[in-house]
Structure 1
Amino acid sequence: MLAETVIAGLLLASGAVAAPAPNPLELMKRAPSPGVVIQKCSNPGMLALAYDDGPYQYTSQLVDILDAADAKATFFWTGTLYGCIYNQAAAVKKTFASGHQIASHTWTHGHMGSMGASQIRTEMTKLEDAMVNLIGKKPAYIRPPYLDTGGQFLPTMQSMGYKVITNDVDSGDWNNQSPQQSQQAFQRAGAGGNGHISLMHETYAGTVNTLTPWLINWAKQNNLKLVTVAECLGDAEGAYQSGTFTPNGQNSC
């Protein structure tokens, strides 16, 4: 006991202080694993607005609505679903410059579960090339079309380092649900617990002009922060692949 006291005194006298024990909660926090399906946020008090199928004619307008509310969102984009992505270059660059997360929804919006690994890689790399040409970044997040995660999709995403997102709140806009019906889906999900990842589509005027403003107000009333998917997973720095990428100069599909 005397020896321990002497050692402790010497450490204090020399200015050496033992490092505090790590917080167990911090140790539990880990970046999302590639190739593993993630449905909802890992942090409470957040709502991740996530829009599929763009870029489209409403993209710029949607960004304006979000920016006016200081809200962030994630855009899962395709290369050719609604025309060539390069035809929406101005909207793409505006979205990225506004601090929203750009993620992959594949090049052609096909069923990934029925494709081989090579074809899946082509779907991903063609979208990557377009993003490098337009914003200088490669996405690190993917939401598969039709939420199809079967076949070779997940193993391929793991090998490519992609974090796979689905959702835990479905607006139903793709299934002819009105904005008012979509609102009920969020109300049923509630604002408690860890935050939600939504499934919405920027290709519907009602989602952009009616549902999104309602969600902004609903989040405010419930003290929810509107964030990107990466941020709601504690992975804001991992939204894009690391490295410096060189555009290839392509500007058409």
Structure 2
Amino acid sequence: MHSRFALISLLSTLGLASPAANMKMKPRDLLPRLPDPGVVITQCASPGMLALAYDDGPYQYTSALVDILDAAGAKATFFFTGTLYGCIYNQASAVQKAYQSGHQIASHTWTHPQNFGSMSGDQITQEMQQLEQALANIIGVKPAYMRPPYLATGGSVLPTLGSLGYKVITNDVDSGDWNGNSVSQSQQAFQQAGTGGNGHIPLMHETYDTTVNQLTPWLIDWAASNGLRLVTVAECLGDASGAYSETGLPGNGQNSC
């Protein structure tokens, strides 16, 4: 009984709630809130961070991008596909390099379907599981994060991804590289977004030379000059240990698409 009143007194002193409310609180209510599967997340959970995030790889620039990031001590998230720009197995060494360098590997589906938002739950599941198996074969993990192709979250997308345990990422800054924006236009998008408030999760694509070799170095300098840490999406959401739902997965011997 004494310990109970001592806990209530401590919580009241910390200003968490009134004693009456604290008596109803559960232990999980006092823990940091981690991302929920199947819920759209657009930005970081705290200020002072920038989560560089690249879609549509692996591609011919993946290895060079990892080198640029590593040289700056920056971490990023790669939303990989299985077959969008050739078979993922043909870029297995680049995928392994990114993973071994401590960057987050996440899913962008197997084929990057244009109709992702209107696909059935079974079709979405197949898209996700095919990439899961490829990543198990290449790096031995199953990602817990994904970004939907074309940022489509309607129809069966969120319920299905939630049932599969995926944390769904979109963005709050668009570099516009996919739409032909110049590097200076992309830079302006970040400057307009600013460095206040919670950290940004941008939409960028590693399939553009200018994004890899011009925009990324500029972002590294921009972050440094504004005191921002360059982290993975999982870390910027306070979920650094939750980037993968399974590790040490056995492969099935497949090495082609």
TM-score where L is the length of structure 2:
0.89
Q: What per-residue deviation string (whole Å, max 9, x for no partner) do you get for residues 141-161 of structure 1?
A: 010000001110100011000
SS of structure 1 residue aligned to 2:47: coil
The match for 2:140 among 120, 133, 136 is 136
Question: Match for residue 168 of structure 1?
Answer: 172
SS of structure 1 residue aligned to 2:142: coil
Question: Match for residue 99 of structure 2?
Answer: 96
Question: Match for residue 250 of structure 2?
Answer: 246
Question: Match for residue 148 of structure 1?
Answer: 152
Q: Following TM superposition, by how much is the alpha carbon of 1:43 offset from its aligned partner in structure 2, in angstroms?
A: 1.1
Question: Match for residue 44 of structure 2?
Answer: 41
Question: Match for residue 225 of structure 1?
Answer: 229
Q: What per-residue deviation string (whole Å, max 9, x for no partner) do you get for residues 26-50 of structure 1?
A: 8363110000000000011000000
Cα distance in structure 2, aligned partners of 1:121 and 1:93: 24
Correspondence list, 1:74-85, <5 A = 74-85=77-88
The answer to whether residue 190 in structure 2 is matched with residue 189 in structure 1 is: no
SS of structure 1 residue aligned to 2:201: strand
| Conserved? CA contact 2:57–2:207, under 8 Å | yes
Cα distance in structure 1, aligned partners of 2:37 and 2:96: 26
| Conserved? CA contact 2:140–2:247, under 8 Å | no
Note the residue ranges of structure 2 that are not aligned, 5 or more in a row.
18-28
What one-letter code is carried by the residue in structure 1 that aligns with 2:211?
A: T
Cα distance in structure 1, aligned partners of 2:187 and 2:68: 17
Question: Match for residue 118 of structure 1?
Answer: 122
What one-letter code is carried by the residue in structure 2 that aligns with 1:27?
A: L
Question: Match for residue 32 of structure 1?
Answer: 35
Question: Match for residue 66 of structure 1?
Answer: 69
**What percent identity do the matched residue pairs reach?**
70
Cα distance in structure 2, aligned partners of 1:21 and 1:104: 41
The answer to whether residue 207 in structure 2 is matched with residue 203 in structure 1 is: yes
Alpha-carbon RMSD across the aligned residues, in angstroms, is 2.0
SS of structure 1 residue aligned to 2:38: coil
Task: Extract structure 1 runs of 4+ deviating beyond 6 A.
Answer: none
Q: Following TM superposition, by how much is the alpha carbon of 1:246 offset from its aligned partner in structure 2, in angstroms?
A: 1.3
Question: Match for residue 14 of structure 1?
Answer: none
Note the residue ranges of structure 1 that are not aligned, 5 or more in a row.
1-6, 12-17
Cα distance in structure 2, aligned partners of 1:228 and 1:244: 21
Bigger Rg, structure 1 or 2: 1
TM-score where L is the length of structure 1:
0.91
SS of structure 2 residue aligned to 1:75: strand
What one-letter code is carried by the residue in structure 2 that aligns with 1:206?
A: T
Number of residue pairs matched? 240
Question: Match for residue 21 of structure 2?
Answer: none
SS of structure 1 residue aligned to 2:96: helix
SS of structure 2 residue aligned to 1:242: strand
Question: Match for residue 4 of structure 1?
Answer: none
SS of structure 2 residue aligned to 1:60: helix
Cα distance in structure 2, aligned partners of 1:245 and 1:158: 21
After TM superposition, the structure 1 stretch with the greater mean CA deviation from structure 2, 224-233 or 22-31, is 22-31
